[in-house]
Every structure is written in C-alpha cells, then in structure tokens.
Amino acid sequence: MSQDAPHKRDIRIEVPVLARVEGEGALELKARDGRIEALRLRIFEPPRYFEKFLEGRSWREVPDTVARICGICPVAYQMSAVQALEQAFGLESSEWVLQNRRLMYCGEWIQSHALHVHLLALPDFLGYDNAIAMAKDHPEAVHRGLALQKLGNDLIRFLGGRSVHPVGVRVGGFHHAPSLEDARALGNRLEAALDDAEALVGFTAGLDLPVDEQSFTNVALRHNDDYPMYAGRIVSDQGLDISADDYADHFVESHVPHSTALYSHLDGQPYLVGPLARLNLNLDRLSPRTRAALDATGLTWPSRNMFHSLVARAVELLEALQEARRLLEAYAPTDTPYAQVEPRAGEGFGATEAPRGILWHHYRVDDEGKVLTARIVPPTSQNQARMEEDLRQSLEAFGLHHDDDALRLRGEMVIRNYDPCISCATHFLKVRVDRGEE
C-alpha cells in the first residue's frame, strides 16, 4: 500500500490478552479511512465478589479483608472502609488518628508513584522496552525509583505492621502507636529524599512528552486546607460539589456487553480521576516548595494534556514526602491509638484519594455491626470509559497511517497514563493489523 493513500488503509487490532492485569483484559480496535470505527477495552475476568464476601462479616474483619483487593494500594481500601464504618457507628476519630491515617496514606502515594514513574512509564520516554533494559544506561533513574518506593513501603510498615496488605489499621484508629525513635529515624530518611523528589519534577517535565490536548471532566476530592488524600468533598471542574454520601446520586455505574468491569459516568459522560485531575483541581493546595518546583517547569496548569499525568505523579510524590516529613516532626506516641467502637445499625460512606483516584465505599450494617450490604467503586473502574475515549482521540490524533509498532506503543502509553493495574506489563499489546484497499 502506498504511503500517499493512508485513507485506504483498514486496521484491525486484536489483543486477546493484556498481560499482568489485576484481572484479565483485552483491546480490540477497528479503523477505516483514518477513523476508528470501533474500540473496546475488554475486561473478561470473572467477578471477584469482594463486596459479597463482606456480607455477614463483622465490622472488625472489614479493614483486613478489603486490603486484599489490591496489593499496590491496600491502604486506600482500608481508609475508605474505616471512614465509612465510623460514620455508620457515629464515631468521631481523634486528631491523632486522623493525622496518622494521612501519614500512612503518604507512604502509599510515595511507593505507588515512584514505581509508576521510574519503572513503568519512564522506559517509554527514554526509548527502552522495559526498566531492565533501561537500567543498563540509566542506573541512577532505577536506583532512585527503587529507593523512593522502599521509603514509601517503610512508611506504610511504620503504622501498618507490613507494607503489603498491612494489618495495623482498625475501625477507630490503629492497633498500636509506633515509637518516637522509629518516627525520628523515618523522618530523617524522608528529609534526605526531598532533593531527589524535587529534581524528579523537573526531570519528568523535561522529557519529550507527546502533546495531546483533550477535553475531559476532572473529578477529585477537595479539602478546606490540605492537598486531598484522606478527606474532602467530591468536586469537578463542571461545578460538582458533593459529600461522599451523595456520590450515587450523580455517578452511575453500568454494564457494557464487552466487559465484566463496570463503567462509571458522571451525568452520562466519562470523567477523569487520578493525579492529573487532582492537581488540576487543587493547585492552590500545594505546599510552597512543591508549587515552586511545578512553576519552574514552565508548563501550563491546569493541563489538558493527558501525558502530563507523569509530571502530576512526580509533583504528588514530592508533596507526599513533605507532608509525611511534617507529620513525623509533630508525631508523639499515644496510649490510646484507637477509640472504642460501639456498633449500631446504620449506613456509612467513605471517599479517599487512592494513588489512581477516588475510591468510594458504602456499607449498611446491622445492630451488631455485621455488614448487610457493601459497595466499592475503585478508580480504575471510574476511568475505564475515559480510557476508551482517550484511546480513540489519541490514536486518531497520532495518525493511523503509522506502522503497527508505533500504534501499539502509543496505545500502551495512553493506557499507562492512567496507571491501572495493567501498567506492570511494559509491552502488553501484541498488535495484529489487517490491511486492505477498497
């Protein structure tokens, strides 16, 4: 086929399996005459039924159970769960508990963002197939990423007992209060990492990121004082401003024929959650040092370029390091790391910011605190409709006249921007293109 007739090119991309997904999925795409006719991001893993598992379980079991939904962001599931159950029981958390929940959440942001930036996304922009190949020529980048990830994991372990599926969280607070000596040692390590984290913001902004301006709705939490993480109202750049209690009145989940995963829409439209949406909606909540590092990049914010999600993660990593350092400086052990719980019948709602975006929980419990119903809406599910919309717009803007490898790589980069659990495969799209001429 001649290059001067790209409109004659028919494209069919079928990816039967997306490797290393937290679940199983596939991508199907058909295009003709330079336009995409059909695009489906299929998730065909059998349902995991975690919500059903929780029914009939005691409130005591919920935090440890939901932590096992995800090995990368278990803290997020625990925090949204305890927030909802405490509302159901009419329990007010102490300031010590609230501050240390935010501290533990900082650890999850640090480890997750460090992993994504350095090991999953960076090889795309430096021209490598994977992080192992990249490490030969850029060992400093890999070492920095692994060091920051370990620091985040150690911060989770500080309060959680372990970094994967932590067991230190309970309704009402924490099972134990770490020592002041351990807090000071961890704080010193955080302080030593700040310069590297600040340099990472400029480093990501200096990469040859594609220019891919799109129109989309940003949705994130917003707090009166802090950059949103553990608490806040759910807002959008289209005027939405609601509490977690009202989430189901505005956000609707639905099944589509090609996916067992639910799709989520806000007033009938796809929307974005995650670092880019959070940063777009909360620029004025950044600390002075983080804002200065962001301004020094020369990039325009709020941003409509989805590839600026990489920069947003670096910004949030720096913010989380500073916040964790601040909280550890003020840390003091307590003899009462949790409040006594008196179960009662009721319902509660929780919404926190997982590294990948808003994580919403809703529970109904009986008078003994046993779960009657549970509903959990994770960020990757909320982003799925936006991912399909992004793939369509980005691939068409990129140009369907490009060869198979270029289309595959662009598709992978688009999906990796959202850091869904399929990100841990460096090249998960095996593209087969059928061409024909009319």
Beta-bridge mates of residue 358: 353
For residues 87-109, give the mean pLDDT: 97
Burial 235-263 (b: 16+ CB within 10 A, else e): bbbeebeeebbebeeebeeeebeebbbbb
Confidence of residue 45 (pLDDT cuts 50, 70, 90): low
Rounded Cα gap, residues 243 and 233, in angstroms = 5
Q: Is the pTM of this model over 0.85?
A: yes
> What average pLDDT score do residues 63-81 get?
92
Domain ranges of the chain: 50-402
Condensed to tens digits (0 to 9), the pLDDT of residues 184-227 reads 999 999 999 999 999 999 999 999 999 999 999 999 999 999 99
Decide if 242 contacts 233 (C-beta within 8 A): yes
pLDDT at 26 over 70: no
pLDDT on residue 24 = 56
Instruction: Give 118-130 as a DSSP string.
Output: IIIIHHHHHT-SS
pLDDT value at residue 417: 86
Q: Say if residue 106 carries a ligand binding annotation.
A: no
Average pLDDT over residues 389-413: 85
Q: What letter represents residue 47's amino acid?
A: P
Does the structure show a pLDDT above 80 at 427?
A: no
Q: Is 424 annotated as a binding residue?
A: yes
Q: Is 402 annotated as a binding residue?
A: no
Residue 5: predicted pLDDT: 43
Q: Determine the average pLDDT of the residues in 98-119.
A: 96
51 is in an annotated binding site: yes
pLDDT at 25: 59
Question: Are the C-beta atoms of residues 113 and 355 closer than 8 Å to each other?
Answer: yes
Average pLDDT over residues 70-82: 92
For residues 431 and 83, the model is more confident at 83
CATH superfamily, region 50-402: Cytochrome-c3 Hydrogenase, chain B (1.10.645.10)
Cα–Cα distance for residue pair 245/260, rounded to 1 Å: 26
Describe the chain by its helix, strand, coil percentages, rounded to 5.
45, 20, 35
In 3D, which of 408, 380, 372, 279 has the Cα closest to residue 77? 380
Give yes or no for a cis peptide into 302 (omega within 30° of 0). Answer: yes
Residues 140-196: tens digit of each pLDDT: 999 999 999 999 999 999 999 999 999 999 999 999 999 999 999 999 999 999 999
Q: Which residues pair with 248 in a beta bridge?
A: none
CA proximity to 148, closest of 189, 111, 107: 111
Residue 142 has what pLDDT? 95
What is the band of 72 on the pLDDT scale with cuts at 50, 70, 90? confident
More confident residue, 415 or 208: 208
Query: How many other C-beta atoms can be found within 10 angstroms of the C-beta atom of residue 279?
Result: 27
Close Cβ partners of 239 (under 8 Å, ≥ 6 residues apart): none
* Look-up of token digits 């997750």: 112
pLDDT of residue 405: 75
Residue 18: what pLDDT? 42
> What tokens were used for 115?
């992993």
CA pair distance 406, 412, nearest whole angstrom:
10
Token representation of residue 268: 């009938």
Q: What pLDDT sits at residue 371?
A: 98
Per-residue confidence (pLDDT) for residue 9, from 0 to 100: 59
User: Mapped to the 3 state alphabet, what secondary structure does 319-352 carry?
Assistant: HHHHHHHHHHHCCCCCCCCECCCCCCCEEEEEEE
Percent of the chain with pLDDT strictly greater than 70:
89
pLDDT, residue 412, reads 79
> Known binder of ligand: residue 308?
no
* More confident call, 423 vs 269: 269
Of 52-56, 71-75, 255-259, 421-425, give the range with the top mean pLDDT. 52-56
Q: What is the pLDDT of residues 10-20, one digit of tens each?
A: 665 554 444 32
